[in-house]
Structure 1
Amino acid sequence: MSQLLHYIHHHTQLPEASIKNTIELLNESCTVPFISRYRKERTGNLDEVQIGDIVKFKEQFEALEKRKITILKALEEQAVLTPELKQKIESAQDITTLEDLYLPFKKSRKTKAETARKNGLEPLAKIIMAQNASDIESVAYNYLKEDIKSVEEALEGARHIIAEWINERTDVRNNIRFQLERFAMISTKVIKTKADDEAAQKFKDYFDWSESLSRIPSHRLLAILRAENEGFIKAKIEIDDEKALMKIEDRIIRSNNACAEQIQLAIHDAYKRLIFPSLSNEALQNAKEQADDSAIAVFAKNLKQLLLGSPIGEKRVLAIDPGFRTGCKVVCLDAQGQLKYNETIYPHPPKNDSVGAMKKISSLADAYKIEAIAIGNGTASRETESLIRKIRFKNDIQVFVVSEAGASIYSASKIAREEFPNYDVTVRGSVSIGRRLQDPLAELVKIDAKSIGVGQYQHDVDQTKLQKSLDMVVENCVNAVGVNINTASKPLLSYVSGIGPKLAENIFEYRNKHGAFSSREDIKKVPRLGDKAFEQGAAFLRIKDAKNPLDNSAVHPESYGIVEKMAKDLGKNVQDLIGKTECLNAIDLNKYVTQYVGLPTLKDIIKELEKPCLDIREQAKVFTFNQNIKTIQDLREGQLLPGIVNNITNFGCFVDIGIKESGLIHVSNLADAFVSDVNEHVSLHQQIIVKVLDVDIPRKRIQLKLHK
């Protein structure tokens, strides 16, 4: 445990007591949302990000220790494990150091050095490395035999062995690593036969490019690597080879004779054939990992903002998936998102039945008491929105344009087929659009996060790392908001702390068989949902209109007794405390501090009682694009336009201004001063005003500036 604590503390600088207690909780199968919300006293009030870091470095340490065991076992089997080597391996703090220690003993394919050893040339290599022999050719003559026919062959074989020794030297490798970290350049050249390919033009900036590897932005490196992977360019890593060779020579050569000449040749061979190819690939891989981490962080931030997007709440919605030839798919949903009606209208070309479509929408709005209309933002969106705004509804109906990203993925998924077995993909897609307006989080958890389209180069980064990061974001968002157990879908339930897919299915089936849960105690009746799962998940599962008002709050059942004691001390019941700020502020929390419950938890309880089940998300707001801008041809330099941020990257943000093409606000156009973090200036789905700087119609590129 002490080594693990030291390792995590070294990487996070968090208090060791907090790390120790968090590890104990993790080992007790507690989840990150549960620990961060309900075990603040034990963790020292760490948030989910800090706890997530502890999880990450705990896994790194465990992987490192596992690799050490594998290497030690391999070395024991080879009978080469000395006490000194064992100590170095056991004290290694990173995988690079560990692999360097193991490098000389790796069983590899047949090498030039191995062939030379079999030909008996290792003693000659040792003589050369001793740098004492004045006439090395005469010495080499003694090693001639059937497979070694000349002095030069003998010397070449010895040099191969020396080159391998040099390659295996940790000091040499670390010196070249240092130079790669500090001075490496990445350069690219177009493959001439592909220069005119239409698909290659998006990478045109990198047809002849050079930049410091340590300073290249993540998006640029990922773009370069994608272009190389697709066969349009060739990338290479370079440093000052002469300087690198001189650094190696200074470490090894200490004479001025024929041996030194042979060693110099061996150094050049080792550097060109073994050291530089290996370490330049390692440097590129390290840069790629950093770029991946940066891109994944951007994706995670975007996803969090998207999932915590503004819901309209439990309102009756008419949703439209717009289209031209195939028509507009219309569905009516009740306040809980249940499908009540569906139809197709044809207001646009080629049928042009706009009058009939308007009458139909108007009658449906009346029949189903519609409170809001959701229009998908894909093909024919602007035309459909314009049509809807011409209708004079009897009641005040809000009209929203909703992102369709991923809706087609959902509509063809197993989840959608289970929800709507008797309807086709077009109806399911429209339902998804409507439900996104009601509750973006509840609907978007049904879709693979990578399909939502709010990242950069998400298909180029480490997919396992990406999935892990996105799953954690979804889990944190779901638990931060809370879940109505009586209306939640299986995918939404599966992200609740301690639940998972199997228990989510059991909850869903129990609800269908026995009806709505009336209390949190009822949750214990779900098959295979034991005490641990109840402890982890109960406080995140809400029950509306329950007999006990705390069942519809974030107060954990383990703390109900505290609330009841507070109420009793005030001569009231629990219901009398709900929403009564003045009454709650009069409570002396120190009276309720125990060995297990401290002020952080008690303050959270009071905050929750003040506004139980308060949604942390803002309410959805109606937004209207400039109705005069229909295509990119309508844009003019200097125009001020309303827009919605629809993607954020490290180099800026993309903005939907109501046409097919999104515009880019480059990071340099977000503010007059230097911008280090795009998220400090804009957020996903934020409604903003932009100024048009440049319109490149042939390349379909729009440059914008954030207008303050």
Structure 2
Amino acid sequence: MAQTTDPATANRVARRIAEDIAATPQQVAAAVDLLDGGATVPFVARYRKEATGGLDDTQLRRLADRLDYLRDLEARRAAILSGIAEQGKLTPDLEAKLKAADSKAVLEDLYLPFRPKRRTRAMIARENGLEPLLQAIRDDRRAEPAALARAFVTEAVPDADAALVGARDILAETLAEDAGLLGRLRDYLNREAVLTATVAKGQEEAGAKYSDYFAHTEPYAKTPGHRALAMLRGAREKILSLDIGPEPEAGLPRVQAMVRAAVPVQGDNAPGDRWLAAAADWTWRVKLSTTMTMDLLGDLRARAQDEAIEVFARNLKALLLAAPAGAKATMGLDPGIRTGVKVAVVDPTGKLLDTATVYPFQPRKDVQGTMAALSHLIAKHGVALIAIGNGTASRETEKLTADLLAGLPAATRPAKVVVSEAGASVYSASEAAAREFPDLDVSLRGAVSIARRLQDPLAELVKIDPKAIGVGQYQHDVDQHRLSRALDGVVEDAVNAVGVDLNTASAPLLAHVSGLGPALAEAVVAHRDTHGAFASRRALKDVPRLGPRAYEQCAGFLRIAGGAEPLDASAVHPEAYGLARRIVKACGRDLRSVMGDAAALSALDPEDFVTEDFGLPTVRDILAELAKPGRDPRPAFVTAKFADGVESITDLKPGMRLEGTVTNVAAFGAFVDIGVHQDGLVHVSQLADRFVKDPHEIVKPGDVVSVRVTEVDVPRKRIGLSMKREQSEGGAGRAAGPGGGRPDRGDGSRRGNGGGKPGGKPGGKPGPKQDSPGALGAALLDALKPR
């Protein structure tokens, strides 16, 4: 992140960001200083509220993104000003316009006439002395342009027609470099343009999944991101041709009039005016329309990518902050048919205790041996939870497990839970897994991951590249650098929001703690392995290369349970321990007895503890933390109960009421696992009995929901679901799902998100302005799968 040293520029940047994030320039400037100084977003959001006026992590993430863009803009502005000044063409008026430009597009428009370029037709026409001809036509509109052109015939300009072509080229280049005209056209088209998609000749059969876009038109400004990305993908695959331009009947005359006005054409039908009008129209068709289309396509792509990245980030956050089942001995089952069910047992801390492979299904069908092996492992290790991966044979494995548990005493009977195995195979083959389990078969590592993610989803999922978890929308069609940065920020915020046990956390988990990173995380683990558990946060200072700045950033997010210092188990930062003890002293009791006593702490007035170093926000945070020390912000653990006898898509019937778990949320609806190896789709129009603009208003990944089956398409493996309370078939969602079974687990994708067409006819009338279920299908659903 390049820093801005010029005070005037820094102030301008701070003001722009303040408008974007609903803050003051002073708040922005303080946050920028902290971030530039090496502070992390979680640290600033949690422990520097006085400095920033309480900016939260969401505002700070947006601040950081905008800061990068605006600093790039300022650097580009400085380069353009310098370049034009070197040409000796920087006038006071132009300088003022360049300094006032508030976007890269406007800045580049102003720079166009001064940008070094290869020889153009207009340059050649000027060299041939034709610029005076254009001026003559403008000056004498009643003269015939052809008559004026004859005076400019030379060896290089063979006739009057050639002279007029050259004059037109000069006019076209002038208009194409007119920043004011470009800005007016762009503003108008941003509001009024239409996006048109047509099928490429001969691609109808190959591009059948894009058939709803073969002859598609919609307002550019209202095109939702998921449809935009579907069409852009179709264009990239050369199935579709896309165009963005004015609406033909009213819009085209409007933009033509705007271009003519820049000439200007006087409109009295004189010969010169007719020629200038024709030249202006030609310029729109040949030059400006192409420029505008490319600009607007770029803006559409950027807008759609922003939406897709936001959807992915929100889904990932919900998944990472899903409820943990807790520190209990857990058996992980990674279902398989021919290759067997992989079994791993871990202790309450996630340490691997035992493994096995059982073969209850064809071709071996060793049900008795499987029952015996699983019973032995449950009894041997005191298993309290059984995590069953939701892949192939998950329902068969769950039924087998239910039969096994029915024969065990109720007092020792473990609870079984079906969990998402998305990304488990990615972790299994990763370098981190190889280091942790060098002698363990890759397939068994997946069972370990499944068991651990039931105990603590956050601690396990941080080991996997977020893009492999499969909760994105068109994740492969967006800027991968921006996507990675956004997802890394989500992981960092989630880890630090929950806090990390310093003495049990893995290096991958510690790497996301504020101020550490992979290298220091490895150093912390190595120190812990060599010297034993950390007795206090202060002992972190003994870790090689972990200096004062890193300690300041990380200490508040690391927890030590049962240590000599009770505050080490809380989110109170060591720098504020003195203040915390002063608060406790006011209660007239010792620290351990006060921690957790919300009633005693609520009787205190926070204002009484404000000092020069610690303001009211920090005092309130400490009081809240003392009232509930080390509180976990994640919800209580719940799980869906799948219906007995409903194990495959053929068991489903319209009208069935089922319970399921939301696995993914996209702009067009939510996918729900109802236990049939195939996620169903609750279209946005079916999420509630009211209009829903954003599905995230209603559900998030991990939610347990009640759904009604509205449609079952067995051949295409599509399931339509509704969360509406009353029967409302008019807006029933078209069923969704892949045209073929489960994707290769090696790509980390979850099942049930492919197939169909990115469009189609709606199943009925949706609510007012509600996007129809027909605007879904393979291009949309396939885009949700990581590759």
TM-score by length of 1: 0.97
Equivalent AA in structure 1 for residue 531 of structure 2: H
Q: 1:204 aligns with which of 204, 211, 217?
A: 211
2:258 alignment partner, one of 247, 251, 254: 247
Distance 1:568 1:341 in 2: 49
Spell out, residue by residue over 1:318-377, the C-alpha distance to the aligned partner (whole angstroms, 9 max, x if none).
Answer: 101000000011011111111111111000111100111011000000111111001100
CA deviation string 1:619-662 (max 9, x = no partner)? 32243211212222221111111111111011110111111221
Q: Give the corresponding residue for 1:460.
A: 477
Task: Confirm or deny: 8 A CA contact 1:221 1:288 kept in the other structure.
Answer: yes
Where does residue 655 of structure 1 map in the other structure? Answer: 672
Picking from 669, 688, 691, the partner of 2:708 is 691
- CA 1:171 to 1:89, structure 2 compared with 1: closer, same or farther past 3 Å? closer
Contact 2:689 2:724 in 1 (8 A): no
Structure 1 residue 121 corresponds to structure 2 residue 130 = yes
Q: By how many angstroms is 1:110 displaced?
A: 3.2
SS at match of 1:194: coil
Q: Which stretch of structure 1 is more off in the superposition, 282-291 or 112-121?
A: 112-121
Cα distance, 1:233 vs. partner? 1.9
Query: Partner amino acid for 1:617?
Result: R
- Pairing 1:414–2:426 present: no
Matched, 1:296 2:309: yes
More displaced stretch, 380-389 vs 655-664:
655-664
Q: 2:495 aligns with which of 453, 474, 478?
A: 478
Contact 1:131 1:257 in 2 (8 A): no
* Aligned residue among 278, 282, 289 for 1:276: 289
**1:515 to 2:532 alignment:** yes
1:703 maps to 2:720:
yes
Q: 2:408 matched to which residue of 1?
A: 393
Partner of 1:633: 650
8 Å CA contact 2:587–2:594 kept in 1: the answer is no
- 1:330 equivalent to 2:328? Answer no
Q: Distance in 2 between matches of 1:137 and 1:343?
A: 91
Shift of 1:18: 1.9
Question: Can you list the C-alpha shifts for 1:143-186, whole angstroms capped at 9, x where unaligned?
Answer: 22222111110110111011010111123212321331122111
Separation (CA, whole Å) in 1 of partners of 2:651 and 2:374: 30
User: Is 1:556 paired with 2:569?
Assistant: no
Indicate the larger mover: 22-31 or 599-608: 22-31
The question of whether the paired residues in 2 share the 8 Å contact of 1:127 and 1:133 is answered with no
Aligned: 1:669 with 2:669: no
Aligned-pair CA distance for 1:256: 4.2
Cross-structure match for 1:529? 546
Residue matched to 1:539: 556
With 27-36 and 447-456 compared, the bigger mean Cα shift is at: 27-36
2:139 and 2:178 mapped to 1: Cα distance? 16
Match of 2:372 in 1: 359
Cα deviation, residue 535, structure 1: 1.0
Write the letter of the residue equivalent to 2:48: R
Q: CA deviation at 1:135?
A: 4.2
Q: Per the alignment, in what secondary structure is the counterpart of residue 614 of structure 2?
A: coil
Shift in Å at residue 585 of structure 1?
A: 2.3
* 1:245-293 CA-partner distances (Å, limit 9, x unpaired): 1232234112643332332232122111211111121112212211111
- Whole-angstrom distance in 2 between the partners of 1:633 and 1:208: 35
Q: Sort the Cα spacing of 1:695 and 1:376 in 2 relative to 1 into closer, same or farther, 3 A.
A: same
**CA–CA separation in structure 2 for the residues paired with 1:183 and 1:16:** 34
Identity in percent: 43
1:346 to 359, 363, 379: 359
Superposed displacement of residue 707, structure 1? 4.7
Instruction: Tell me if 1:63 matches 2:75.
Output: no
Q: Quick check: 1:630–1:659 contact (8 Å CA) kept in 2?
A: yes
C-alpha displacement of 1:99: 0.7
Does structure 1 residue 320 correspond to structure 2 residue 333? yes
Q: 1:421-448 CA distances to partner (integer Å, 9 max, x unpaired)?
A: 1122101111111110011011111111
Q: Is the 8 A contact 2:141 2:273 kept in 1?
A: no
* Map of 2:187 onto structure 1: 178
Q: Which residue of 1 aligns with 2:743?
A: none
Query: Relative to structure 2, which stretch is displaced further, 414-423 or 148-157?
Result: 414-423
User: Which whole-Å CA distance do the structure 1 matches of 2:656 and 2:216 have between them?
Assistant: 34
1:384 matched to 2:397: yes
Matched, 1:169 2:182: no
Distance 1:576 1:383 in 2: 51
Aligned residue number for residue 220 of structure 1: 227
Deviations 1:195-237 (A, max 9, x none): 223xx33322222211111111111111111112122222222
CA contact (8 A) 2:394 2:677 kept: no
Residue 437 (structure 1) aligns with = 454
Deviations 1:523-574 (CA, angstroms, capped at 9, x unpaired): 1111221111111110001112211011111000011011222333444332
Q: Confirm or deny that 1:451 pairs with 2:468.
A: yes
Alignment gaps of 5+ in structure 1: none
1:236 to 243, 254, 273: 243
Whether the 8 Å CA contact 2:681–2:721 is kept in 1: the answer is: yes
1-side partners of 2:310 and 2:389: how far apart?
Answer: 28
The 8 Å contact of residues 642 and 687 in structure 1, kept in 2 or not, is answered as: yes
Displaced runs of 4 or more, over 6 A:
none
AA in 2 matched with 1:692: V
| Distance in 2 separating the partners of 1:568 and 1:12 | 40
C-alpha distance in 2, partners of 1:313/1:135?
A: 88
Cα distance change of structure 1 residues 281 and 384 upon mapping to structure 2, 3 Å threshold: same
Contact 2:141/2:271 (CA < 8 Å) preserved in 1?
no
Query: Aligned pair 1:262/2:271, yes or no?
Result: no
1:408-431: per-residue Cα shift (whole Å, max 9, x none)? 111111111111111221011111
Residue 193 of structure 1 aligns to a residue whose secondary structure is coil
Amino acid at match of 1:524: K
User: What SS does the corresponding residue of 1:399 show, helix, strand or coil?
Assistant: strand
In structure 2, distance between residues paired with 1:661 and 1:231 = 30
Distance in 2 between the 1:84 and 1:221 partners?
39
Q: Which moved more, 1:437-446 or 1:488-497?
A: 488-497
The residue matched to 2:645 in structure 1 has which SS? Answer: coil
Higher mean alpha-carbon deviation, 379-388 vs 286-295, is at 286-295
> Hey, what's the Cα distance between the residues in 1 that align with 2:695 and 2:553?
35
Check conservation: 1:656, 1:662, Cα contact below 8 A.
yes
Query: Are the aligned partners of 2:315 and 2:471 in contact in 1 as well (CA < 8 Å)?
Result: yes
Q: Is the 8 A contact 1:9 1:16 kept in 2?
A: yes
Paired residues of 2:556 and 2:571 also in contact (CA < 8 A): yes
Greater displacement, 97-106 / 460-469 = 460-469
In 2 relative to 1, CA 534–402 (structure 1 residues): closer, same or farther, beyond 3 Å?
Answer: same
**What do the CA deviations read for 1:31-52 (whole angstroms, capped 9, x no partner)?**
1111111111222222111222
Contact 1:661 1:700 (C-alpha < 8 Å) held by counterparts = yes
Question: Aligned partners of 2:587 and 2:194: how far apart in 1?
Answer: 71
TM-score computed with the length of structure 2 as normaliser: 0.87
2:121 equivalent to 1:112: yes
Supply the distance in 2 between the matched residues of 1:59 and 1:548 (Cα, whole angstroms): 41
Say which of 149, 153, 156 aligns to 1:140.
149
Cα distance, 1:387–1:131 mapped onto 2, change above 3 Å: farther
- Cα separation, 1, equivalents of 2:165 and 2:639: 78
* Separation (CA, whole Å) in 2 of partners of 1:705 and 1:266: 57
In the TM superposition, what are the counterparts of 1:597-608 in structure 2 within 5 Å? 597-608=614-625
Q: Give ranges in structure 2 of 5+ residues lacking alignment.
A: 1-9, 726-787
SS of the residue corresponding to residue 202 of structure 2 reads helix
One-letter amino acid of the structure 1 residue matched with residue 236 of structure 2: N
